[in-house]
Structures are given as structure tokens and as C-alpha cells.
Structure 1
Amino acid sequence: MTGIGPRLKRERVRLKLSQSALGAIGGVEANAQGNYENGLRSPRADYLSKLSEVGIDVNYVITGRKMPAPANDNATAESESLLEQTVSGLHASLHGMNQHLYQLARLLEARQGQDEDLDHEYVQNLCKDAEAISLAAVRLIYNTARTR
């Protein structure tokens, strides 16, 4: 079992939540939750952002990699430095991604007015997804800035 769906299910089971309960937390119906877990649909960024607030390891769900647990409660200077570097790199990547998403949305909106063959609903959905990803990225930047 590989992919986002099975990992999402493992996280749900780990937290002892039903599909309907996790779906409600993420703002979707139980059937949509089932579709995510079965790999029939991909979850949106705003849904994943909501799940992260209740303890779902979204990094694991998306990448399949868990962050290693700290060795002890006393953080060493080395691990603090690594954390600082990681957060700085994450912020730079997220800022760049936000700029590209903004450009993509604006270009698609401009093209939508010029190209009659372009599926307007498809463009609107892409713009909504880009906005949701940007919002989740901004939240992540804010939340990780507090770890410094």
C-alpha cells in the first residue's frame, strides 16, 4: 500500500478516528474521505491544512517520510541550528511557490478572457486550488516562524 490514500488512512487509524469524523474535521463528507483513502481523489491543500491542526502528519501523508523524533528533551546547539536551517529553507521555498502560484493564477485568468476553447470551470478550479495552497503555505510560514 503506497500513495497518499493509504498513508492518510494509517494516520486516521493512528488517531482512532472514523472516516466521517476525519472528513468532518477536513470539511468533506465521509464518501469524499473514503475516496481520498482509496486513491480515487486527491485531497486539496485546505483539507490537509485542517487535518494538520488535529495531529495528522501531513508531511508523512504527502511524502511518505516521517520526521525523526528528537533524541531527548534537551535540544542541542546542533539540532537547533539544523532546525533553523530547515525552517529558513522551508520559508524560502514557500515564498517562491506562492509567487509562482500567484503568477499562474493571473496568467490563467488573463488567458481565460482570450481563449474561447479554454474550459472556464477548469481554470476556476485551478485558481481556487492555487489560492488554497497559498493560504496553507502562509499558515505554515507563520506557524514555523514561531519555532525560531
Structure 2
Amino acid sequence: MIGIGPRLKQERVRLKLSQSALGTIGGVETNAQGNYESGLRFPRADYLSRIAEAGVDVAYVVTGQKKLTLNGVNAVESDLNHVIARLHASLHDMTQQLYQMTHLLDARYSEKDAMSCPPLETIRTEAEAISLAIVRLICVTSKLG
């Protein structure tokens, strides 16, 4: 029977995350993540809680038992849908904040003042680019659920 470390690595690979990425999600350095996966150290409960929110099947990591299906729906699929929904809500909120920021900046500076403030146009351009990228990301991730 394989231990916690290899099961943690399996979950990380399943989610297509690097050691660094999962370590960041869990609030630990990459070397700590590597130590967990090699079995040199064991993760704490707060780390496990954080990675569970990212879709790691912590029950499997700790016990070796895979999640069962829930009303005929794979629990991992349900977790994925939950994470996608949270991601979409966060991205939507970000676009709202970008719109509000650019709207307030436009109200703050007249057209004449905007000419003397070069970063203002850069902010508008970058906010628009980010918003377009967010829309594309939402479209792509919508097809995953």
C-alpha cells in the first residue's frame, strides 16, 4: 500500500499542478511540498484544508480510500464544478472592480488632465486586456463542467 506522500503526488498530478503551485495553494514552500510527497514530512491540517478547497481529495490522500459517487455524480466532478463556479464568481468580481476603477479614474480626471497623466491610458489599456482575457477564460472553463 502506498503512503500519504505518493497519494498526494497523484492528486497533484491529477489536478495538473506543479509542486510549487500546490505548495502555494497549501501555504508552504516548494521544498516542503517535495518533502510531503517523498514522505520525509507529513502535512498539517491547515495545509490539507487549503488544498482540499483546490480540489485535492484529502480523504484519499490521508486514508487511501477514493471518494464514492454522490447520487450517481462523481464527487471529484462535483468538486471540479464547485471550483469552476467559484472561479467564475471571482473573475466576474474582478471585471466589475476593473470597470469601477476605470470609471472612477475617468470621473476623476478630465480629458485635459488625462493627457498629462500617461499611466491613466496604460491602466485603461491593461484593464481592457485583462477583462478580455477573463471573458475568454470563463468561456473555456465553462466547457469543463
TM-score, length basis structure 2: 0.48
Q: Which has the higher contact order (CA 8 A, sep 6+)?
A: 1
TM-score, length basis structure 1: 0.47
